Amino acid sequence: MDNIRIKKTSNGVNTFTPFAHYEVDNGTTVKYYTFNGLRVAMRRGSTLYYLHGDHLGSTALTTTGSG
């Protein structure tokens, strides 16, 4: 394996990361979408969120389709 964390427990919440762009966070599935090596969106359960980055490549703002 490439040193990818499979399970994390923080404050009683278990997060499983079986693949680089996929998590199960306390029973909710989270899938990340990338473009050109940057995360641009994530789907948490059935909701799609858009990730807006800053000039350093960090996520600065998260929005949904309704704004």
pLDDT digits (tens, 9 = 90+) for 5-40: 677 788 887 777 767 777 887 788 889 998 988 889
The answer to whether residues 14 and 5 touch, using CB atoms and an 8 Å cutoff, is no
Query: What is the reported pTM?
Result: 0.69
Cα angle at 66 between 64 and 67, to 5 degrees?
Answer: 70
What confidence tens digit (pLDDT) does each residue in 49-66 have?
A: 999 989 988 889 999 988
Note down the domain range covering 11. Answer: 7-63
66/23 Cα distance (integer angstroms): 24
In a domain? residue 15: yes
Count of structural domains within the chain: 1
Residue 17 lies in a domain: yes
